[in-house]
Amino acid sequence: MSELIQPGDTVDDKDNIINTIVAERDELKTYLEDFSAEIAEKDNTIEVLVTERDQLKAYLEESSVEIAEKDNTIEVLVAERDQLKAYLEESSVEIAEKDNTIEVLVAERDQLKTYLEESSVEIAEKDNVIQAVTTERDQYKIYLDELKQYQTWVPPGHFYSPLPCIDELKQREDTIWGNMPKSFLGIDLNEEEQIFMLESMSECYNTLPFSEKQKDGYRYYFDNSFFGYADGIILYCFLQKYRPKRIIEVGSGFSSALMLDVNEHSFMSVCGGGGGVDFTFIEPYPERLKSLLTPHDNVRIIEEKLQDVDTDIFSSLQAGDILFIDSTHVSKIDSDVNLYLFNILPRLAKGVLIHIHDIPYPFEYYKEWIYNGRAWNEAYMIRTFLQFNTSFKIKFWGSYFENVHKELYFKHMPLCAKCPGGSLWLEKTV
């Protein structure tokens, strides 16, 4: 106040000062009131904050307990985590080792699998080999059992065996097959009559009805490996020339087909469908023969081996008739060759014609046949039979003409050159 009132202040100055002071007082009073209200509000706020603080403190205390518990839990979990981490690290090492072990095992397994597959293939191949060898062994056992019935007291090729030694024959090829004789001691080849026979058959040759391949209406054809061109042509000519009333055939086949054809087309047609040749076929296996027959064929079939046939049947053959023989070609105990040479040919009537198949000139079998294992001996028996034998004569021998009179032979019968054959024709002369 002393600072506001200065010496010399007037009443007005003092009133102004008072008014100023009152105004300040009122302002302060107003401010104080506002401040008191603010303080009251702050007290309330403080009270609220204290309450909240106390609540927070209580919560904090509770939380501290909970945090402590959580810390303990965390500590436990960390410990467990560290243990698990350590275990995991140890397990990772173990797993890595196991992975390596697994990798090694997988590689070994794959190797074993590959080996097993290869072994399976090898085993299958061995099974096939074993099966093949077993089959072959069984076949050899069967073959050996079959061979036992043919066991001889000396082996083939031995000087006591009828089977030749091929090695010895090859050393003597030139001696055996090198020379072609034109005559034989004790045998009359009847050359002039054979040539006359060839020339006289030329007319028949020109009427041949057969062709290379089979054709309608005919059973026989030339292109066969059993009774081909020359054999068939000469048989045809003999049939046409002698016109036999009876034929007995021992061993049937393509020759039967030819004779049946000639009978049907030449003989029966002339007789108006009747007559013709009286055929007797001796054939133990007649299936093929029966397939050739027609209802018009006048035939008798004896389904037996020649050895079992009554030889009196051959007494029916007369001059101009034919005994046609295609035998087993082997002379041995109880063989058909022995039978017809010893018991049948000697009882034939004069003038009967005899055909014997597969007799090559000069009574020697072809080298190829021998080397292939054909140990036939019929030709040697026929040569022996004809030596100094005036009861039979050679009528025609195609193999003889092939080797001695080839040009003449093929001039009259050119088709014979395709397969010269081995038919030997004889005639009983007494």
Give all domains of the chain, ordered by start, each with its CATH number: 1-151 (no CATH), 187-428 (3.40.50.150)
Burial of residue 207 (number of CB atoms within 10 Å: 0-12, 13-18, 19+): exposed
Percent of the chain with pLDDT over 90: 65
- Among the residue ranges 157-161, 232-236, 346-350, the one predicted with the least confidence is 157-161
Q: Which of 404, 407, 415, 410 is nearest to 190 (CA)?
A: 404
Output the 3-class SS for 6-26. CCCCCHHHHHHHHHHHHHHHH
Q: Mean pLDDT, to the nearest integer, of 60-66?
A: 79
- How much helix, strand and coil, in percent to the nearest 5, is found in the chain? 60, 10, 35
Give pLDDT tens digits for 388-415: 999 999 999 999 999 999 999 999 999 9
3 pLDDT above the threshold of 70 = no
1 pLDDT above the threshold of 60 = no
Token readout for 357 is 């198949």
Q: Mean pLDDT, to the nearest integer, of 236-261?
A: 96
Give the DSSP letter of residue 306: G
- Among the residue ranges 10-19, 146-155, 287-296, 348-357, the one predicted with the least confidence is 146-155
Q: Mean pLDDT, to the nearest integer, of 156-184?
A: 93
Phi, psi (degrees; rounded to nearest 5) at 61: -60, -45
Q: If phi over 0 gives left and psi between -120 and 50 gives alpha, with beta otherwise, what is residue 243?
A: left
Give the DSSP letter of residue 5: -
Q: CB-based contacts of 160: which residues, under 8 Å, 6+ apart?
A: 153, 154
Could you give the CA distance from residue 119 to residue 124 in angstroms, rounded to a whole number? 8
Q: Which of 299, 301, 297 is nearest to 284 (CA)?
A: 301
Token readout for 4 is 């506001």
Q: Mean pLDDT, to the nearest integer, of 254-259?
A: 96
- Among the residue ranges 95-104, 304-313, 319-328, the one predicted with the least confidence is 95-104
Give pLDDT tens digits for 151-163: 788 888 899 999 9
Torsion 71-76-82-84 (CA) sign: negative
Which helix (H) or strand (E) is 396 found in, with range?
A: strand 392-397
Q: Which of 265, 200, 182 is nearest to 413 (CA)?
A: 200
Output the 3-class SS for 273-291. CCCCCEEEEECCCCHHHHH
* Contact status, residue 255 vs residue 231, Cβ threshold 8 Å: yes
Q: CB-based contacts of 393: which residues, under 8 Å, 6+ apart?
A: 188, 190, 193, 426, 427, 429
Q: Which residue spans within 141-219 are E strands per DSSP?
A: none
What one-letter code names the amino acid at 90?
E
Query: In angstroms, what is the C-alpha Rg of the chain?
Result: 66
90 pLDDT above the threshold of 90 = no
- Give the pLDDT confidence score for residue 269 in this predicted structure: 61
For 75-105, b/e burial (b = at least 16 CB within 10 A) is eeeeeeeeeeeeeeeeeeeeeeeeeeeeeee
* Contact status, residue 319 vs residue 351, Cβ threshold 8 Å: yes
Q: Mean pLDDT, to the nearest integer, of 321-345?
A: 97
Q: Mean pLDDT, to the nearest integer, of 366-395?
A: 97
Token readout for 202 is 């030329």
Average pLDDT, the chain: 91
Burial of residue 128 (number of CB atoms within 10 Å: 0-12, 13-18, 19+): exposed
Torsion 372-378-381-386 (CA) sign: negative
Confidence of residue 270 (pLDDT cuts 50, 70, 90): low
- Give the pLDDT confidence score for residue 37 in this predicted structure: 86
Confidence of residue 21 (pLDDT cuts 50, 70, 90): confident
210 pLDDT above the threshold of 60 = yes
- Among the residue ranges 39-43, 246-250, 350-354, 398-402, the one predicted with the least confidence is 39-43
- Give the pLDDT confidence score for residue 47 in this predicted structure: 84
- Give the pLDDT confidence score for residue 183 in this predicted structure: 95
Give the DSSP letter of residue 424: E
Q: Mean pLDDT, to the nearest integer, of 124-133?
A: 92
Give pLDDT tens digits for 4-13: 667 788 888 8
- For the chain, the maximum distance between any two Cα atoms, rounded to a whole number of angstroms, is 217
Q: Mean pLDDT, to the nearest integer, of 280-303?
A: 91
Could you give the CA distance from residue 1 to residue 94 in angstroms, rounded to a whole number? 97
Could you give the CA distance from residue 176 to residue 185 in angstroms, rounded to a whole number? 17
Could you give the CA distance from residue 234 to residue 227 in angstroms, rounded to a whole number? 11
What counts of helices (H) and strands (E) characterise the chain?
14, 7
